[in-house]
Amino acid sequence: MTQPYGFLEADEECVKLEKKACAKPHPNVESLKRALKKAWNEITLETLIKIVDNFPKRLGQFSEASAFCMDAKGGHLE
């Protein structure tokens, strides 16, 4: 089964964030936060749009519970 656009890309972006933000040790949490924000801001808008647009498809691949999430439309699940 081929993965839709966004599945691998989202995972790759997470890896890139970690590599960039943790390329050097940070003396404190604030330094790490700054590095993460800098790396996040380097992700292109085009990449983010493709990942977000594909998210419902990604949910559907993992479990039937995703249908409940989609039906809730941001509400509470019971």
pLDDT over threshold 80, residue 71: no
Long-range contacts of 16-22 (CB under 8 A, 24+ apart): 16/43, 17/43
Query: How many CB atoms neighbour CB 61 within 10 A?
Result: 11
pLDDT at 13 over 90: no
pLDDT tops 80 at residue 9: no
Q: Tell me, yes or no, whether 2 lies in a domain.
A: no
The model's pTM: 0.56
- Does 49 reside within a domain? yes
Query: Is residue 1 included in any domain, yes or no?
Result: no
Domain for residue 77, yes or no? no
Contact 56, 70 (CB under 8 A): yes
Residue 19 lies in a domain: yes
Q: Please give the residue range of the domain that contains residue 58.
A: 7-72
Residue 78 counted as domain residue? no
Domains in the chain, number: 1
